[in-house]
Amino acid sequence: MTYLLDVNALIALGFLQHEFSNRVAAWIKSQRSITIATCSTTEMGFLRVLSSTTPYRISLEDARGLLLELKSGNQLRCTFIPDDQDVTRLPAWVKAAKHITGGHLLQLAGVKGLALATLDEKIPGAFLIP
């Protein structure tokens, strides 16, 4: 199975100090065959959050290196999917700014035949990482 990780799940996977790092790592280890997908939205979100928000505040270059290391490591199959969905494709449940990214990623995952994996219980139809 291939899962598109949302930004928070990707950060939890790539940054060991994230509060849900162990949760995401345990879920991935429990899977027999898993591929993790990223896209431009999740990768740019990873860089933005890690380089600009507390408690992370690592340099942009360090965040980029961390992401590239995560994607090229031997322990995880990772793929990049092109993001060809525009705002006309947002799901109808997206009614507030805080839902835009989740709605966009859910739509993108569906179009690509993937599941959106998230830590956010409020994204209808997404796979909630246990």
Query: Quick one: pLDDT at residue 74?
Result: 75
Query: Quick one: pLDDT at residue 55?
Result: 82
Q: How confident is the model at residue 89 (pLDDT cuts 50, 70, 90)?
A: confident
Q: Which domain holds residue 86?
A: 2-128
19 has a pLDDT exceeding 90: yes
Query: Quick one: pLDDT at residue 90?
Result: 87
Ranges 37-46, 66-75, 108-117: which has the least confidence: 66-75
Instruction: Indicate the number of domains in the chain.
Output: 1
CATH number of residue 16's parent domain: 3.40.50.1010
Q: Extract the tokens encoding 33.
A: 């065959």
Using CA atoms, how far apart are residues 16 and 40, in angstroms rounded to an integer? 22
Query: Quick one: pLDDT at residue 61?
Result: 96
Using CA atoms, how far apart are residues 73 and 91, in angstroms rounded to an integer? 34
